[in-house]
Structure 1
Amino acid sequence: MNVPYAYDAWYPLAWSRDIGRQLATRRVLEEDLVVYRTEDGQVAALEDVCPHRLAPLSLGTLRGNAVECGYHGLTFDCSGQCVSAPGMARAPTGARVRSYPTAESMGMVWVWMGDPAKANGSEVFHLAEYDDPAYSVVEGDALPVQANYLSLADNLCDPTHVVYVHKTTLASAGREETRVQHERQGNKVITWRWVIDGPLIPVFEGLKDFGGANVDRWHYYHYHAPCIAVIDFGSARTGTGAPEGNREDCIRMFACHFITPIDQHSCMQHWLCLKNSPSSPEIDDRLLAGLRLAFNEDKRVLEAIQRNEDKPREWKRINLALDASSIKMRRIVEEMASSGS
C-alpha cells in the first residue's frame, strides 16, 4: 500500500559537506534532482532532466552557475531557465526545468518539494542546542534503508522496541513494562518514558563517571512530521531529582534523525548527535561506533518488515496500545498530504 507524501515541507536533501562544485544527484519523493553549489556557495537544485531529449542533466557539466546538458549542450541556469542552445542565437524561452528552493541548517541541505511560493527558509528545522557551546556535535552518516520512510518514522516514535532490538547499545534489561506516555502538539508527536533506578546503558559508558551508581534515565521522542525525529535522552544519578527537572549533573544527548523519503520502498536516514560534553576524538569515535551499531540494528528489522510488506497477504496487521504514537504520526502526515501542506 502506498503511503502519502506531504509536498509542502522542508526535506533533508544531503549533508552540506557532500555538496560542492560538482554535479550531485539525489532522489526525493520519487523525483530526481541534480544538486550543486554556485560560485558564491549557495545550493542549487534542479529537476534532473533536459527537456530536449530527456537526458539527465547530472551527466552534463557545470559551467559557472549553470548546467550544460551532456547530450546536446543546452544550458540551464540555477533558476531552471535555458540560457543557451546549440545552433540558436537565442535560447528557446519555453525550455526550462523545475528548480527547488533550498536552505541549510544543522549541517544539512534542505529542499522544498512543494509550491515554491510557500517556501519559507526561516521555518527550516533548527535545534537551539546545536549552537549551544555547552554541547558538542557528533555528525553521523547517511544510512540507506530499504524501507518506506513511515516505517522508519514508526520506529522513531516508539521507545518500546529499544529493549528488544538494542540490547547491547541503548537498553537495560528488565524494563519491558516501563510506562510510555504520548501526546500530539500540532504537527508534532511527543512520546516519552522514564526508567528509574537502573544501570547506565552501554552507549553512555565512559561519558560520565557515576561511580557505579544506578541512574534515572529519560527518553523523549519528538517527531516533527513528516520527516524529522529528535530523541532527547539522558541519565542522572538516581535520587538527584532528574524526573522533577533537576538535570544539572547528567549525561544528556539529542539524537537527530532527518529522513529523506526516496520512494515507497526506500529512504535515507541522516543522523547526528549533540551531547553535553566536550568533543573528544576517542569518546566521539566510540559513540559513533555505538550509534552506528544501534541504527543498523533498526535497519535490519525495518528492511525485513518491508520485504514482508511487499508480499501479498490476505490479513492485515494488528495494532497494540504501544502503537498510539505511530498512529498519531501517520494521521498527521495524511492530514498534511491531503491539505497540500
Structure 2
Amino acid sequence: MSSPAYPRNAWYPLGWARDIGPALAKRRVLGEDLVVFRTSGGQIAALDDACPHRLAPLSLGRLRGDSVECGYHGLAFDCSGRCTHAPGMQRAPNNAQVRSYPTATTMGMVWVWMGDAALADPAQVFHLPEYDDPAYSVIEGDALPVAANYLSLADNLCDPTHVVYVHPTTLGSTGREETRVQHQREGRKVVTWRWVIDGPLIPIFQGLKDFGGNVDRWHYYHYHAPSIAVIDFGSAATGTGAPEGVRGDCIQMFACHFITPVDARSCVQHWLLLKNSPADAATDERLRAGLRVAFNEDKAVLEAIQRNEDKPREWQRVQLGLDASAIKMRRIVQEMVEAESA
C-alpha cells in the first residue's frame, strides 16, 4: 500500500493533556514520530523525534531543564528545535536544527499542527461551547488505539445506521432500522441526523430520567474534517416538541471523538462525553463503562475491516444510499489534500 495523503494544515489531537508531563514521550502522527514533553512553564513542546547528527531518536534521550538531550552524543535542543549545546564545541552548529510543531490545548486535549507553522492559528482549534457551560458536566474518556485507517473510523462516526446492529445493548434499539437518515455538507463539515419518534430509551439512558413512557430521540453526527466527530444525541418525552426544538426537559449528551491518524493502518480515538446533568461518580462511571463497551464494539468491526482491506481482491466494494455522508466526508478530505498540493 502506498503512503496515504493527509491534510497537513489542520489541528490534530496529540494526546490528553493529563498524559503529557515533564518527561519525554513518543507520539506518532500522520506517520511521523514526534518527541513530546511539558516544559517547566507548562508549555507543550513537540519536535521531530530524530537528532540531526546521527538520527538517534530524541525520545531515547533525557530532559535537561526545558531542553532535550540526545542520548547518543549529548546534543541539546530547546522547544523551538534550536541546538543549544554540542559537546566539544564552543558554539552549537547553526545547521543542527530539529523541526518543532505548534501545539495548543483545549477541552483537555493537546493539539498539534503538522503543516506549515506560519498557518497555525490557535483560535481555530476545535472547541465545543457546551464544554464551558455549567449546565453540562464532563466525563473524560480514553485514548483507544484502533488498528484501522483513520478514515474508516471517520466513516463509522458519520453513520447512525450501524448503531442498531453493532451497539444493541448500549446505544441502539431494534425495530427502527428503516428510520430515515438525512445529511448535508456545510463547508468542511458534514452533518448526518435521524429522529426516532415514540420509541424506548436507548439502553445507556436507562435510569437517568423517568419520562413515564416512550420518547422522541435524536442523533446528530457532526463531522469536522479531517479528524473530529461530535455526536449530539438525546431524548425527550414523546409529543413534547423536541423535533421542533423544545428540549427544556430532556437528556442531552455530546460524544466527542478526536481522531489521531497514526499511520495508514492505525489511529487513536480520544473520546469524552458532555451531559446536561451534574457530575455524579456512580452515574458517570456507568456511562463511561457503557461507552467503553460501545467503542470497543466499533474497534472490533473496524479492525476486521482493515484486515480484509489489506488482502488482495479482484472485486470492488459496493456503495449504498446510507454511505452518502461518508462519501461527502472523504471528498472533503481529498479536497483539502489537493488544495495543499496545488
Q: TM-score, normalised by structure 1?
A: 0.99
- Offset from partner CA, 1:306-336 (integer Å, 9 cap, x none): 0000000011111000000000000000000
Q: Percent identity?
A: 77
Instruction: Describe the SS at the equivalent of 1:274.
Output: strand
- Deviation, 1:64, is 1.2
- Offset from partner CA, 1:174-230 (integer Å, 9 cap, x none): 01000000000000000000000000000111211223x000000000000000000
Which residue of the partner structure matches residue 54 of structure 1?
A: 55
Instruction: Describe the SS at the equivalent of 1:55.
Output: coil
Instruction: For 1:220, give the aligned amino acid.
Output: Y
- Deviation, 1:4, is 2.5
Instruction: For 2:139, give the aligned amino acid.
Output: V
User: In the alignment, is the contact (CA less than 8 A) between 1:8 and 1:118 conserved in 2?
Assistant: yes
Aligned-partner Cα distance in 2 for 1:36–1:314: 46
Instruction: Describe the SS at the equivalent of 2:340.
Output: coil
Aligned-partner Cα distance in 2 for 1:210–1:186: 37
Aligned-partner Cα distance in 1 for 2:40–2:142: 27
Aligned-partner Cα distance in 1 for 2:237–2:5: 44
- Offset from partner CA, 1:278-323 (integer Å, 9 cap, x none): 0000000000010000000000000000000000001111100000
Instruction: For 1:56, give the aligned amino acid.
Output: P
Residues 124-163 of structure 1 correspond to what in structure 2 (within 5 A)? Answer: 124-163=125-164
Which residue of the partner structure matches residue 102 of structure 1?
A: 103
- Structure 2: which 5+ residue stretches go unaligned? none
Aligned-partner Cα distance in 2 for 1:155–1:4: 20
Which residue of the partner structure matches residue 92 of structure 2?
A: 91
Residues 52-91 of structure 1 correspond to what in structure 2 (within 5 A)? Answer: 52-91=53-92
The question of 1:260 aligning with 2:260 is answered yes
Residues 1-341 of structure 1 correspond to what in structure 2 (within 5 A)? Answer: 3-211=4-212, 213-340=213-340
- Deviation, 1:340, is 1.2
Aligned-partner Cα distance in 2 for 1:143–1:208: 29
Instruction: For 2:252, give the aligned amino acid.
Output: R
Aligned-partner Cα distance in 2 for 1:326–1:242: 27
User: In the alignment, is the contact (CA less than 8 A) between 1:4 and 1:333 conserved in 2?
Assistant: no
Aligned-partner Cα distance in 1 for 2:26–2:217: 41
Aligned-partner Cα distance in 1 for 2:338–2:67: 35
Aligned-partner Cα distance in 2 for 1:30–1:4: 10
User: In the alignment, is the contact (CA less than 8 A) between 1:73 and 1:86 conserved in 2?
Assistant: yes
Aligned-partner Cα distance in 1 for 2:62–2:210: 54
- Offset from partner CA, 1:122-181 (integer Å, 9 cap, x none): 000000000000000000000000000000000000000001100111011101000000
- Deviation, 1:38, is 1.0
Q: TM-score, normalised by structure 2?
A: 0.98
Aligned-partner Cα distance in 1 for 2:61–2:304: 37
- Offset from partner CA, 1:4-46 (integer Å, 9 cap, x none): 3000000000000001101111000000000011111010000
Instruction: Describe the SS at the equivalent of 1:302.
Output: helix
Instruction: Tell which deviates more after alignment, 56-65 or 186-195.
Output: 56-65
Aligned-partner Cα distance in 2 for 1:304–1:130: 34
Aligned-partner Cα distance in 2 for 1:58–1:98: 14
Instruction: Describe the SS at the equivalent of 2:97.
Output: coil
Instruction: For 2:88, give the aligned amino acid.
Output: G
Aligned-partner Cα distance in 1 for 2:139–2:215: 24
Q: How many residues align?
A: 340
Aligned-partner Cα distance in 2 for 1:80–1:30: 20
Instruction: Describe the SS at the equivalent of 2:98.
Output: coil
Aligned-partner Cα distance in 2 for 1:4–1:165: 30
Instruction: Describe the SS at the equivalent of 2:52.
Output: coil
Aligned-partner Cα distance in 2 for 1:288–1:254: 13
Instruction: Describe the SS at the equivalent of 1:184.
Output: strand
The RMSD of aligned alpha carbons is: 0.8
